[in-house]
Structure 1
C-alpha cells in the first residue's frame, strides 16, 4: 500500500486528492490546508483522509510521498521539508516566486535524491504525448517551428494574480515547458511582449493579460506562445508543430463530439470549460506516474530540474517584456543581478 498526504484543498488540490485516493493500492492518509473549513472537510471525507497539521505529515514514517497543491508561496518550504524528511514529492508549479529560492530548493531536492515529479500535466496528456512520440520516432523529421495558443475563458481576479505569480510564472510556464519538451534542445534566446488589453484589475495588480513569447534554440528552431486571459470561444488550448515532413496539430477538446447540421450550417460543441476539465485524463495519468515513481522508480516526464528550467525561461520572458529586448540565455543565466 502506498500512503500519501496532500497539501491544499483548493481546486487543483481536490483533483489531486481525488486521483490519489482512487488509485488502486493507494491511500490518502492526510489532507493539510491552513484555511481548513467546510470545503476542506468535504474533500477529506470524500477521500477518506484526516485533516491534520503539516508537522503530523512529516513526522509520520508511514507517509511515502506528499502532493503539494497548496498556495504558491508554500511550495518551496514544503519541498525543502520533503527533502529533509526523505519523502517523495509531487509539486505543482512554480517552485517559488523568488528565483534565488527556486534554485536553492531545486539543489536541496537533487542533493537529497528524493523522487520528485513536477506538475506539468500537459506532458501526460494523450494528444501532446503522441506529438512528442511521433517527433521522437523520426517520422515527422526535425522540428522547425512550434506555435501554441493558450487562452483562458475569462480573466482571474486581481487577488489571484497578486499571489499566483502572474501570467508568466503561473500560466505561461506550462507553455514554455511544453516547448522544451517538444524541441528537446536548449533554448538560447527569449523575446516577449506583454500588454493590458482586457482587465483593469489585472493592470492594477501589476500584471499583463495578453502576451506573446518567442523562444529560439541554438540551431534556430522556434516556438511561439500566444496567450491571453480571455478567450471568446472559451478555454482555447491548441498546438501546431511544423516539422520537415509533417505538420502535427492538437486541436481544442470539445465538450462533445456531436455536431448538428442543417441547411443553415453546422453547430458544434464548445471546447471543454477550463483546464481542470480539459486535462482531466492528464491529471489522473500524472498521479499514476507519481505512484509508479514511488513504487518502482519509474522516472517521471517532468522532474525538479524541469521545474527550474521552465521557470528560468519565464523569468527571461518577463524581463524581456519589461525591457523590450531579447534575452540571450547561457547555461548559467539568472534573472538576478
Structure 2
C-alpha cells in the first residue's frame, strides 16, 4: 500500500512514525510546504520505503492508495477535496475546515461521494473511552444523568498557534464534544459556556481564553460538564466520567493521573504524569491509523465521518457564542 502524508509538523511527524510501523504500508510518501523539513523527517524514519516530494501538490499524481492530511488547518479543505476528487481515500486531522461555513462547504463537495473520508478524533480508539461507550450501550450504568469531561494541557502553545487555532473550544474542547456524543449516543441541544484569562496576554490578544468551562444539555436531559485549561503544570490530564443511576465509570483514572491527593496515607497515583497528548494517546493514534488502512483496503465504513466532525464543531460554535454573549445557546441557533 502506498500512503501519502501531507504535512510533517509536530503531529504529521508523529503520524509518519506510526505509519511506518503498519505492515500494510509499503511506501510512505511525504510532502510539506517546507521541503527541508520533509527530508529531515524522512531521514529520521530511514530512507527505505520513504519518498519525499517537493510540494503537497505533487501528492495527487503520486499513485497513492490513501492520503493522510496533517497540514495546517487552513490547508485541510483544499487537500481533502482534491484527494476525494482524485478518488483517493482520505484521513484528515480535525478540523476539516477552520469554521462551520468551511466545513459545510467541504461536506457539499465530498459528503455524498463514495470515496471514504475519516476524520481524526483519536479518542474514539482509546481503550478506556471504548469501554465507557460499551458500558453505556449495554445499559450497565442505568440511565445516565451526568457526564464530566476535562482536557488540561500542561502548558500553553505558541502565540502563533493560538492566533490561528480558531479558539480553545474549536481547537481543544471539540475532542470532548465529539467523545461525549460518541460515548453517550446522544446529541447536544443547548450549552452555556464561560472562559477566563489569567495567563499570557497573547490569548486575550487573539480573542481567545486560556481556561474554559461549559455545561451541555443532551437531548435526553443528561447534563455534561466540560472544562479545559492551558495551564496544568502537573501534567497532561484528560478524563471522562459517566455517572448513571445504577453505576458509574471513569476514563483516565490510572497511576499517571496528574492529580495529587492530600488525604492522609493516600499515595495514589504514583505517576509519572503524561507530558503531552501524544504520549497519553499513542496506542489510540496507532489504532486510528490502522483503521484508516482498513478503510483504504475496503474493509468497513469510516469510523468518524465529516458529518461527525460537523456536529462536534456545532457544539464548539455554540459554546463560543455563549461565551461571547454570556447566555445559553441552543444548537439550533448555529446550525446551517
**TM-score of the two chains, using structure 2 as the length reference:** 0.91
Shift of 1:222: 1.4
2:110 aligned counterpart, secondary structure: helix
Determine the structure 2 residue equivalent to 1:324.
Answer: 326
1:92-171 to structure 2, matched below 5 A, reads: 92-171=93-172
Listed one character per residue, the Cα deviations across residues 40-68 of structure 1 (whole Å, up to 9, x for unaligned) are 213223163222122321123x3111001
| Cα distance change on mapping 1:314 and 1:32 into 2, 3 Å | same
Q: Distance in 1 between matches of 2:265 and 2:308?
A: 49
Q: Is the Cα–Cα contact under 8 Å of residues 93 and 118 in structure 1 kept in the other structure?
A: yes
Q: Which runs of 4+ in 1 moved over 6 A?
A: none
Q: Distance in 2 between matches of 1:275 and 1:27?
A: 28
Determine the structure 2 residue equivalent to 1:260.
Answer: none
1:112 aligned counterpart, secondary structure: coil
Q: CA RMSD in A?
A: 1.9
1:133 aligned counterpart, secondary structure: helix
Shift of 1:145: 0.9
Listed one character per residue, the Cα deviations across residues 275-297 of structure 1 (whole Å, up to 9, x for unaligned) are 01000000000000001111133
Q: Is the Cα–Cα contact under 8 Å of residues 236 and 252 in structure 1 kept in the other structure?
A: no
Q: Distance in 1 between matches of 2:303 and 2:148?
A: 21
Determine the structure 1 residue equivalent to 2:227.
Answer: 226
Q: Distance in 2 between matches of 1:78 and 1:201?
A: 30
1:1-337 to structure 2, matched below 5 A, reads: 2-37=1-36, 39-45=37-43, 46=45, 48-52=49-53, 53-60=55-62, 62-254=63-255, 266=267, 268-330=270-332, 333-334=333-334
Q: Distance in 2 between matches of 1:265 and 1:174?
A: 31
Shift of 1:201: 2.0
Shift of 1:20: 1.5
Q: Is the Cα–Cα contact under 8 Å of residues 141 and 243 in structure 1 kept in the other structure?
A: yes
| Cα distance change on mapping 1:253 and 1:156 into 2, 3 Å | farther
Q: Distance in 1 between matches of 2:186 and 2:285?
A: 26
Aligned pair count reads: 325
| Larger displacement relative to structure 2 (268-277 or 27-36) | 27-36
2:68 aligned counterpart, secondary structure: strand
| Larger displacement relative to structure 2 (86-95 or 102-111) | 102-111
1:153 aligned counterpart, secondary structure: coil
Q: Is the Cα–Cα contact under 8 Å of residues 24 and 293 in structure 2 kept in the other structure?
A: no
Q: Distance in 2 between matches of 1:228 and 1:214?
A: 15
**Gapped runs of 5+ residues in structure 2?**
258-263
**Gapped runs of 5+ residues in structure 1?**
257-262
Q: Is the Cα–Cα contact under 8 Å of residues 2 and 66 in structure 2 kept in the other structure?
A: yes
Q: Is the Cα–Cα contact under 8 Å of residues 5 and 29 in structure 2 kept in the other structure?
A: yes
2:39 aligned counterpart, secondary structure: helix
| Cα distance change on mapping 1:221 and 1:255 into 2, 3 Å | closer
2:33 aligned counterpart, secondary structure: coil
1:155 aligned counterpart, secondary structure: coil
Listed one character per residue, the Cα deviations across residues 60-109 of structure 1 (whole Å, up to 9, x for unaligned) are 3x311100111111111111111211110111111112321210102222
| Cα distance change on mapping 1:252 and 1:68 into 2, 3 Å | farther
Shift of 1:252: 4.7
Shift of 1:265: 7.0
